[in-house]
Every structure is written in C-alpha cells, then in structure tokens.
Structure 1
Amino acid sequence: MLPLYQSQLGLFFILLCPTNSISLWWAVGNPLVLDPNSICRKTTRLAGKQAELCQTQPQIVSEVAKGARLGVRECQFQFRARRWNCTIHNRHFGKILRQDIRETAFVYAITSAGVAYAVTQACSMGELLQCGCENTLRRAAVPPAAGPGAGAATWEWGGCGDDVEFGYDKSKQFMDAESKKAQSDIKSLIDLHNNEAGRLTVKNYMRTECKCHGLSGSCAVKTCWKKMPHFREVGDRLLDRFNGAFKVMGGNDGKTLIPVGHNIKQPDKQDLIYSAESPDFCLPNRRTGSPGTRGRVCNGTAMDVSGCDLLCCGRGHRDQTVSFQENCQCRFHWCCVVQCNQCTVRKELSICV
C-alpha cells in the first residue's frame, strides 16, 4: 500500500523508477493534469471511492482535475509574496506534502475546495448528466439578505441555484478516500480535517442573488437563488485560517486531535490545523522541499512578508532595471482594427541575493 502522503491528492502522477520497482507520486500541477484520464489510468492504485468514480463517472473526474488546477492557481496567488510561494516543482512539492505543516494544510484545503467548486459549477452549467441546478423552491416572509423595512414584495426561491451539496459530496468522495483507510494515523486525521475545512469554506458562504419581475422595472415579484462565493473569496478566507492555524497533536485514543498549548480552544471545522513547524524556506533544501528565495523579486519599501528584509531572509537584495515591450499609443480605426505601437518600458526591481 502506498504511503498516505503519496496518494492524498490522487489526481496527477509522476512515475519515478529509482529501482526496478515503480513508485507512484501524487503531485498537483503535473502536466499530466491536461489529460484527466491520467488520473484513472492506474485504477488499481486508487482508493476504492476514487476507482469507483473513475469507472462509473469519468466526467466528474475531469471536473476533479479542473478543480485541483483551480486550487493550485489560487494557492500561487495567495502565496505569491511569501517565502514559499506554492511553487509546483515536482520533487519540491512532493516533499512539502510529506509534512504536516501549515503550508500543506492550506494546499489540502484549497484543493479540496477547488474540486467542490469545479464540480458544482459544472452542474450549474449543465455539463454533467448526474446533476443540475439546485431548484428546491421555498418561501419566506422576508426576502433573503433583506433587512427590516425591505417591503412586502412577493418572492420565491427559483432560478438556477448552485447545487453545492453535490459538489461537496464528490469532493469528499474523491479527496478523502485514501485518508479514511487509516483514520487512526495523525496525518490522516489532519488531512481529513483540512479537506473538510476547504469544502466548508465553499458550502458555508453561499451568497444570494435575486432578479426582479414586474411592470416598468418594478419589483413586484422577486426570484432568488443561491450561488457560490467567488473563488478568490474562498482563497482569502482560507488564507486567514492559515494565518491563525492551530497546532495539534494526536490524542491517546488515536482518534482525536488535541490543540498544543495551554488554554487553547479546540479548533472548529473550518480552522486549518498542523502538527509540525514549517521550515524557514530561506535556502534550497532537498529534505524539506524548500526552493529558497534567492532570485525572488521583493518589495524594497514594504514591511510585510513581501518586503526585502523578510523575503530575502536578511541576505540583502540588489536593484536591477529590466526592459520589456508593451503596446502603447493604441488607436481605433473604423472599422474594426486597433493599431498599437510597441514601447520599451523600464522597471526597477529588487532581487533577493
């Protein structure tokens, strides 16, 4: 059986052959993601629920791959100014996934959220036969999100709401499958918790959209439906959870996680958790998977994580002028051509040494 860290994100694989045996490494962001069938090519190595999806619902597996890519892109955006910037180098990334650190917690959460998001979105767009809009019709006395004095307009649930329950279930089925095999293992418990935190950040923050119906633009009747939050909002919320993540250790019963420290409250289902301290990510380190920060662009005036002092780990930085071409002085010519000149733009950058 494969170690859990190798199969937690059972999405894209790299076959490494250091010996006569073949070891299977899971690594989000591998180019094989462009072919979703690659996920299912080795079904004997997938957990039961994953193999079942591959065999019976391959269209959903394609959305799983899209969701994983969505999660990785968001991870790279949220960590773009940090020492570890969610770099997807195959070997480095695999080393990161082995550890129970904050960064791994965020990767699991945002990827699980991405899968739930992509599957739900595909349902709403009519791209999956197994699901569609969330069309449960309900009535209430006051329109959703409306405060006192909102008026007495007739309204009802309708439209094409996002069926987030379906996306949530499929993400849980695929992303949790391997970890459920060993729930007494502390890493499995942490992985399952962080996967759930990601999905709940999609599910628990659905927004209400409404459309008015009536003569002359009046709002005599209003139809409302539930939509998922923008995925950037999901990433922002999970980054907040990352910044306030809880350190935990395994309980004596092998089934519970206990926060480390005195008088620390138990993390809730949407908190991110970890059990090991992160490396400083200052220098390249094969053991930890740190790519280092040498050559990274930093902000010479910022005092936050993007500032040169922090990002360059006190090694200093050098200023460099870079030149590049961009369109300028664009003019529209009737009809229908836009012509632009090419201008040379110079920009001063600060580079970590």
Structure 2
Amino acid sequence: MAQLGRWKYGLFTFVAMILQCLCVSAFDTWWNLGVRGFKAWRNPQLYVIGAQPLCTQLKGLSPAQVRLCQSYHDHMPSVGHGASMGIQECQRQFQNRRWNCSTIADDSSVFGPVLNIASPEAAFTHAISAAGVVFSISRGCREGELSKCSCSRSSRPKSLHRDWIWGGCGDNLEYGYRFAKMFVDIREREKNHPRHSPGLARMLMNLRNNEAGRLAVYRYSKVACKCHGVSGSCSLKTCWRQLPEFRTVGDRLKDKYDGATKVVFNKRGTQLKSENSKYNKPTKEDLIYLEDSPDYCDPNKVTGSFGTKGRECKKSSPGMDGCKLMCCGRGYNTFKRKVKERCHCKFHWCCFVQCDVCEHIEDVHTCK
C-alpha cells in the first residue's frame, strides 16, 4: 500500500509539472468578466438559466463571489465593465514595454501564467482592476443603474465657495469603494494560510495592491460644477463630487509600479515588510511585490512571456520602447511603411470639418 501511495504521489507531481509546462494557469480570476461580454448581463432574462443562476456558470468567480453575485446581480455588468477598463488601461500603460499586458484567449485567468509570479506586473494588474471596479460601480450609482445605491451623499467640501450650491448628482465613490473592497478582496480571504506560507504571502500582497488601486480612485476625486445665472454668467454654481479621469488613475498606478517595493515576511511570518530596511515603509497607496520580474525577452510558457521578437521599437529612444532595450540586445530589422492620415483640415461654417488624406513613408523597426 505504501508503494502504491508513493506511485500516486509521483504521478500527481508529474501531472502538475506537465500542466505547468502547458501554460495552465494556477487560478481563475474575476477579471474574466471583463473579456467575456459583460453586456449580456444587462438582459434580465439571463439571470437564470433553467434552475441554475447565471452566477454559478461564470468562470473566474470564487465561491464567495458567486454568492455576492447572486445578491448583487445587477452590479455584475458594472464589475465586468470595471474589469474591462482595467485591462484596457493596463495595455495602454505597458504598450511600449517588454511585457505589454497581453491577454490570452480562452484562459479565465485573462493574463495567463504571468500572474503566478508575485511580480510588479501582477501587483499592477491587481491594482488597476480593483480601481476599475471602484470607478464603474461609483458611476453606475450616479446613473441609476444599481438598486442599492444612488447619487453621492458626500459632505460639502470646506473649500467650496459659500454661495455655491452643493447637491448635484455626484459619483458615489463611498459606495463604489465599499463594494469593490467587499467583492474583490473576498476571494483572497476565503482560505486560511499558515504562517510563513507562500499562500499567505501572496494573499497579503494581493490585498495590499487591491487597496492601492481603490485608493488611486477614491482619494483623488474632484469637484465639478455647473454654472447658473443670466446668459451663463456663472453668478451661481451647483457642484458635486466627480470621479477622476481613469487615464490619470492609470498614470498614478504606473508611477507606483515604477517605484514598487519588494517585501518579505516579518519574523512572525504574519505580515509583509520591506526587504531593504533602508527604504521607507510603503504606504497604502504604494504597490508591493514578492518576486523580481522575468526579463520577458524570450518566449517562456512557464512565466507567460511572449518574448519581444517582431515587436516595434524606436531606434533613437533610450527608454524601454527603444530598440536597444526592447530587443534585449538581439538587434532589429528596418522596413518602409506607407502611412495614410488626415491632413489639411478645414472648418466649414456651419458646422463640419473637411480633411484631405495624405500619404507618407516612414521607417519601422522591429526586434529580431
């Protein structure tokens, strides 16, 4: 019997290694809602398929998230939209990097094995996705799309002009933050991990980066106002709380990515601390990571790297988008490309713009 047990254990280990080599992700994620057509959720007839709620049919949701989905089913289109916003912003921020936030078709982890590494890239994806949910839910409240919230009831800013009216229909960041914290974090808290375990370290890392993403939206809202008065004289204004531009949220988190802090367990193995004690303690708005990034130069199924062969680069740029760094020292090829663009545009009264189409030839460089 003991020999049979060892044989089964060996077989299990072998299968696990094969799955890893075949690029099978270690976990599914709710980000799958952002690439699987969240618009379908807006059809109320799809909430139930036969006797099974649609929530149980969705890939990527943890058991606790399925239960939340069933209680807040009208929130799911906003969650999916938030996930989609996060994915698109990630790809915009990293379009000129070796890792360009590529998604993988038919993989419910969305980004593939790259997420199995507790790297700065994984930290950013968690943060920007959590930020997307805060943004989308907060806006959904204001638009009247959600049954459990409405316009923001935040208090009047002390700096607001005393003659201006506070009370327009603002984005409900308070509710958006609370719901995003509940929905996104609950999958991390479902399991109990022992002290000093890799599972606990990754859970703590994900929770911190989720919070950094939420705060990148919540703490940077702005006041928007509408003018009233004779002929728009702005003698009176009505003001409300408004979300920041999501692009500025992405820019803020990209800066945090560039300055992310590597962390390790404390002596008790219950919390994470900076690996280098000379550095300042990371704040709640900072990103943290456990493992250094792969170089992403060559294709690697285990790390999820697609490599940079064939990627466009800029010959004269000293940055990561430059051919020297993007091509990892392999050199680059150059070819000519014909480009068409609008030109000689003129405004005609009233009211349209008419443009010609111009062509020019440009040099294009791609990594070897």
For residue 314 of structure 1, what is the aligned residue in structure 2? 329
Contact 1:299 1:307 in 2 (8 A): yes
- The alignment yields a C-alpha RMSD, in angstroms, of 3.0
1:18 aligns with none
Q: State which of 220, 239, 261 in structure 1 corresponds to 2:276.
A: 261
How far apart, in 1, do the equivalents of 2:223 and 2:129 lie? 24
The residue that corresponds to 1:97 in the other structure is 115
Partner residue in 2 for 1:112: 130
Deviations 1:97-154 (A, max 9, x none): 11100000000100010011111111112222221111345374x426xxxxxxxx51
Q: Report the TM-score, using the length of structure 1 for normalisation.
A: 0.82
SS in 2 for 1:179: coil
Out of 7, 10, 23, the residue aligned to residue 30 of structure 2 is: 10
In the TM superposition, residue 327 of structure 1 has moved relative to its aligned partner by 5.8
Superposition map of 1:216-231 within 5 A? 217-231=232-246
Q: Does 1:180 align with 2:198?
A: no
Structure 1 window deviating more from structure 2 (296-305 vs 343-352): it is 343-352
Secondary structure of the 1:86 match is coil
Does structure 1 conserve the Cα–Cα contact (< 8 Å) formed by 2:79 and 2:133? Answer: yes
> Could you list the per-position Cα deviations for residues 11-38 of structure 1 after superposition, in whole angstroms to 9, with x for gaps in the alignment?
42xxxxxxxxxxxxxxx76445564579
Aligned residues: 326
1:202 and 2:202 equivalent? no
Alignment of 1:127-166 (within 5 A): 127-136=145-154, 138=156, 140=158, 142-143=159-160, 153-166=162-175
- Structure 1 residues 233 and 311, CA gap change in structure 2 (3 angstroms): same
Which residue in 2 is equivalent to 1:60?
75
In the alignment, which residue of structure 1 is the partner of 2:178? 169
1:263-310 Cα distance to aligned partner (Å, 9 max, x none) = 222211110000001000001011111000010010111111111101
SS in 1 for 2:364: strand
Instruction: Give SS of 2:240's match.
Output: strand
Structure 1 unaligned regions, length at least 5:
13-27, 145-152
Matches within 5 A, 1:28-47: 30-31=35-36, 33=38, 35-36=40-41, 40-42=55-57, 46-47=61-62
Determine if contact 2:31/2:84 at 8 Å carries over to the other structure: no
User: How big is the shift at 1:173?
Assistant: 1.8
Aligned residue type for 1:87:
S
Structure 2 spans left out of the alignment, 5+ residues: 1-23, 48-53, 194-199
What SS is found at the alignment partner of 2:189? helix
Q: Deviations over 1:308-336 (max 9, x none)?
A: 10111111111111235556677899999
Q: Encode CA deviations 1:37-85: one digit per residue, 9 max, x unaligned.
A: 7982337984354122321221201110110000000000000110001
The one-letter code of the counterpart of 1:58 is: H
